[in-house]
Amino acid sequence: MEIGKKLFTTRKIQSKVKELAQRISSDYEGKEIFAVGVLKGAAIFFADLIRAITVPLTFDFIIASSYKKMETTGYVNIYGDLREDITGKHVLLVEDIIDTGLTLKFLREKLIERNPQSLRTCVFLDKKERRIVDVPIDYTGFEIPDKYVVGYGLDCESKFRNLPYIAFLEP
Ligand code: 5GP
């Protein structure tokens, strides 16, 4: 597999991150955010996003991965859980990409069980046409077509996460 056509340049990514952070900062005015990043994919986006948010913020990570071969069951494995209690907090769950929606639906349900004061979701990329379950998304970076993308945290067999842009993958 090789890196194909560029979908979003670094400049375009940075301006979208800034826009999302401004919306989030304004929506959470007077509140404190507890941001939860989903590793590994969201690591890069998460680091950029939280640094551009201007309201008080603390964060933690959750390490999760979905079994693609068992897509329809929605089985998601949590390899590493939050270390902090989220009870009564304004939680912002941050993911790199939403595809079928199964991963985010599963994670939302897991976090809601822990009684946060509020829970919102932020995804950088949305493959809307692939959705098979309904998940509320509060903040979306870009809607993209149903094609595999890499870069800016997104991988293919663990590679390409460090690309500073987002590109399609070509066979
Ligand atoms: P979902 O559970 O919504 O079907 O899938 C979400 C997960 O699938 C993402 O966190 C990501 O790991 C993976 N994924 C879906 N589409 C892509 C893609 O185009 N590129 C990469 N690198 N991962 C993807």
d(CA 88, CA 133): 27
Render each residue's pLDDT in the chain as its tens digit; 171 residues: 899 999 999 999 999 999 999 999 999 999 999 999 999 999 999 999 999 999 999 999 999 987 664 444 567 888 899 999 999 999 999 999 999 999 999 999 999 999 999 999 999 999 999 999 999 999 999 999 999 999 999 999 999 999 999 999 988
Q: Which of 3, 95, 99 gets mutated to test ligand 1 (max ligand atoms within 8 A of its CB)?
A: 99
Nearest CA to ligand 1 atom 5: 99
Q: What architecture (CATH level 2) is domain 15-144?
A: 3-Layer(aba) Sandwich (3.40)
d(CA 141, CA 125): 6
